[in-house]
Amino acid sequence: MGKSSMYIASTILFLAIVVGFTYWLSTTEEHAGSEGSHGEQTEDSAGGEAEKIFSQNCASCHGENLGGGAGPALEAVGGKYSKDEILGIIKNGKGGGMPAGVIQGKEAEMVAKWLSEKK
The answer to whether the CB of 118 falls within 8 A of the CB of 76 is yes
Give pLDDT, residue 42. 58
**Same domain flag for 27 and 65:** no
> Which structural domain range is residue 5 located in?
1-33
**Same domain flag for 62 and 90:** yes
**Same domain flag for 58 and 6:** no
The pLDDT profile of the chain, 119 residues, written as one tens digit per residue, is: 677 888 888 889 888 888 877 777 777 655 555 444 444 555 567 778 999 999 999 999 999 999 999 999 999 999 999 999 999 999 999 988 899 999 999 999 999 999 999 99
Continuous H helices in the chain: 3-33, 43-57, 59-62, 83-92, 105-116
**Same domain flag for 47 and 29:** no
Give pLDDT, residue 39. 47
**Same domain flag for 57 and 23:** no
What total number of domains does the chain contain?
A: 2
Give pLDDT, residue 30. 53
Is 38 part of any domain? no
Report residue 83: phi and psi, to 5°.
-60, -45
**Same domain flag for 95 and 49:** yes
Give pLDDT, residue 4. 82
CA 77 and chain centroid, separation: 21
Is 58 part of any domain? yes
The CA–CA distances, whole Å, from 52 to 13, 18, 21, 58 equal 43, 37, 33, 10
Give pLDDT, residue 37. 46
Give pLDDT, residue 16. 85
The CA–CA distances, whole Å, from 41 to 66, 78, 87 equal 24, 22, 20
**Same domain flag for 25 and 51:** no
**Same domain flag for 92 and 110:** yes
The answer to whether the CB of 73 falls within 8 A of the CB of 47 is no
